[in-house]
Amino acid sequence: MVTNLIQTKIKPMTREQIVISVDRLTRFKPTYEKYLRVFKDIILNNLIYPTFKKKDLDEMDCTTLTKYAQEVLNYSLKELAIFDTEDNFSINKNLEEYENSIFNNDEETRKLLNNNISYKSVLRLLNSDDLKVKNLLWLSKMENSKNATEIRESFFTHFPISKIIIAEGITEEILLPIFAKTQGVDFDKFGYHIISAGGKNQVVKLFYSFAEILKIPVFILLDNDASENFIQIQPKIRNFDKIHLIQSGEFEDLLPIDLVIKSLNNHLKNLSSVEIADFDSELSMVENLEKIYHEKGIEDFKKADFAHIISENITNDTLLSNEIMNIINELQN
């Protein structure tokens, strides 16, 4: 459905709504998916006239959808008295080039990217807390630099993303970037983006979807019991993708025992203590930890909480297992 833009009546977006919308537009997500969702939300919540229902927006062409969302955003910036009339929209071009460089965007998706949202004006809204969000920090640096990669390497902005890492669980997502950093491989500097898929079957589904739309490499990290999933992934692997099947069980089994003991004892703060004798060599690390948590009367064992405990005790001189070192080296290659 093609709609000619007519006189509009707009409920101005608040500062918080604008920042949230721009944050969502610049995260790592498939371009079509995130732009459609954000633009539709903006129109449904802030365009008073003409009135559109969700069904209307689902049928609307991307050019018209973009123009309405753009009009609402820019009008809101004007109402906040921060609209930059001299914006040359260079940031928009940089974002457009970036999205098209990492995703196979079709013609309709490119229409969503071809907008005149005044990002230069948006930058005036961002405060120090907003700039703790990596994609917003990256956006803020675009005003004075055209080279997106130089921005990332100079300011450790994480964006633009150069490589995707898909792991099974939250432990890898939390700890792998920290382990890598001790070896001089900073994920924020190199643009490595790690995603916890939530299980080996989800890894396969996620990779299949990425293999269809992504132009950048994907590194897949699987636990040892995922050999069947390894085989499922193989037909979709491109020449610049890589799979690593952990040799020693799951990622927790790669953690140095000294680091685990030190971390738990620092966490317990003399309420109890953990020793090497508490670990059964016949059990996996997770099984051992579940047993120790139960026997020592510690809170219920949760992988995410445990990973954060470990993360607080990693230093540059932490001795890593050979396989963790191999994974980090493979990431770089």
Residue 327 belongs to some domain of the structure: no
Q: What are the φ and ψ backbone dihedral angles of 49, each rounded to 5 degrees?
A: -145, 135
Cβ atoms 76, 46 nearer than 8 A: yes
Cβ atoms 22, 80 nearer than 8 A: no
Residue 298 belongs to some domain of the structure: yes
- For residues 16 and 121, state if they share a domain: yes
Radius of gyration of the chain (CA): 24
- For residues 219 and 278, state if they share a domain: no
Residue 239 contacts by C-beta under 8 Å, 6 or more apart in sequence?
none
CB burial of residue 165 (10 Å; 0-12, 13-18, 19+): buried
- For residues 13 and 145, state if they share a domain: yes
Amino acid identity, position 99: E
- For residues 189 and 145, state if they share a domain: no
Residue 305 belongs to some domain of the structure: yes
- For residues 221 and 135, state if they share a domain: no
Q: What is residue 3's predicted lDDT score, i.e. its pLDDT?
A: 46
Q: Can you give the CATH number for the domain in which 182 is found?
A: 3.40.50
- For residues 208 and 262, state if they share a domain: no
Of the three residues 249, 277, 293, the one that is the final residue of a domain is 249
Residue 332 belongs to some domain of the structure: no
- For residues 151 and 183, state if they share a domain: no
How far is the C-alpha of 3 from the C-alpha of 36, rounded, in Å? 17
Long-range CB contacts for residues 53-56, cutoff 8 Å, separation at least 24: 56/1
- For residues 196 and 137, state if they share a domain: no
Residue 321 belongs to some domain of the structure: no
CA dihedral over 142, 190, 199, 299, signed as positive or negative? negative
The count of domains in the chain is: 3
Of the three residues 108, 131, 155, the one that is the final residue of a domain is 155
How far is the C-alpha of 327 from the C-alpha of 242, rounded, in Å? 11
**Coil, strand or helix at 319:** coil
3-state secondary structure 64-114: HHHHHHHHHHHHHHHHCCCCCCCCCCHHHHHHHHHHHHHECCCHHHHHHHC
Place of tokens 């940031």: 91
Cβ atoms 115, 87 nearer than 8 A: no
Of the three residues 219, 249, 279, the one that is the final residue of a domain is 249
Helices (H) then strands (E): counts for the chain:
17, 6
Structural domain containing residue 17: 9-155
- For residues 15 and 148, state if they share a domain: yes
- For residues 93 and 25, state if they share a domain: yes
Residue 18 belongs to some domain of the structure: yes
Cβ atoms 165, 193 nearer than 8 A: yes
- For residues 81 and 216, state if they share a domain: no
In this structure, the strands spanning 9-10 and 218-222 are unpaired
- For residues 258 and 239, state if they share a domain: no
Residue 318 belongs to some domain of the structure: no
Residue 230 belongs to some domain of the structure: yes
Q: Provide the residue-wise pLDDT of the chain in tens; the chain has 333 residues.
A: 344 556 899 999 999 999 999 999 999 999 999 999 999 999 999 999 999 999 999 999 999 999 999 999 999 999 999 999 989 999 999 999 999 999 999 999 999 999 999 999 999 999 999 999 999 999 999 988 768 889 999 999 999 999 999 999 999 999 999 999 999 999 999 999 999 999 999 999 999 999 999 999 999 999 999 999 999 999 999 999 999 999 989 999 999 999 999 999 999 987 789 999 999 999 999 999 999 999 988 889 999 999 999 999 999 999 999 999 999 999 998
